[in-house]
Amino acid sequence: MSAPISASISALSSTLPTLDFENDLWRSGHSHVAGVDEVGLGCLAGPIVAAAVLMPRNLVPIAGIRDSKKLSELQRNRLYGQIQQQAIAIGVGMASVAEIEEINVLQASYRAMQRAIGRIQPLDHALIDGRKIKVDFGIPITTIIKGDTLSYSIACASIVAKVRRDRFMTRLAARYPGYGWERNRGYGTAQHLSGLQSLGITPWHRKTYSPVRTVIEQLSLFP
């Protein structure tokens, strides 16, 4: 396995994501370049989900692709279907609540990304949203600060990861009603916090996160 090559690139503009990073790598001889992003770091419940999206060369960019946080749910779902049609391959990886609590949320996010990348073959370079990463992904990587706003393939990965995690949390909401996961997707909204107080915690809650830990401590004081 080759050691990762990591370069942090600052975001200097707020324009739509482009293929500039991908084109540079394609011109330098990398034929299989994937964009990678994750979602769910700040949630009180549920897994981290990462996606790797391998796009073809000479593609015509899909209109409207951008950072998933800047899109409505309806827009994300529409673009998700178009990304599936355009991509050569898509890999999705998860890191469980148990892993988040065992190795911390940042390391768990890297594990989810490793799993997403591992589901795409062949692959010779990955563009990853974020700062410099000291983790071996088995292939060369380039980290890009605010990459989901700058790189087309990373923006696609952000949409895929968001849609897949949202759908997963919606299914969980049917099993654990009262927390509003079908709307807040596990983030600490007022409804979610109210549900924690009235219903307690579930196996999908991250016990090391402060609001969840507070509920656990309260329950231990009043058995």
Q: In the chain, what are the domains?
A: 20-173 (3.30.420.10), 178-221 (no CATH)
Cβ neighbour number for residue 114 with a 10 Å cutoff: 19
Distance CA 21, CA 107 (A): 25
User: pLDDT tens digits, residue range 67-107?
Assistant: 999 999 999 999 999 999 999 999 999 999 999 999 999 99
Neighbours of 150 (CB within 10 A): 25
Tell me: pLDDT of 8 over 60.
no
pLDDT, one tens digit per residue, over 167-213 is 999 999 999 999 999 999 999 999 999 999 999 999 999 999 999 99
Q: In one letter, which amino acid is 121?
A: Q
pTM for the model stands at 0.91
| 136-157: pLDDT as tens digits | 999 999 999 999 999 999 999 9
Long-range contacts of 9-12 (CB under 8 A, 24+ apart): 9/142, 9/143, 9/144, 9/145, 9/147, 9/150, 10/145, 11/144, 11/145, 11/146, 11/149, 11/150
Both tokens of 117, joined, read: 């990348």
Mean pLDDT within 48-68: 97
Question: CA 181, 162, 24 angle in degrees (round to 5)?
Answer: 165
pLDDT value of residue 221:
57
Whether residue 222 is predicted with pLDDT greater than 70 in this model: the reply is no
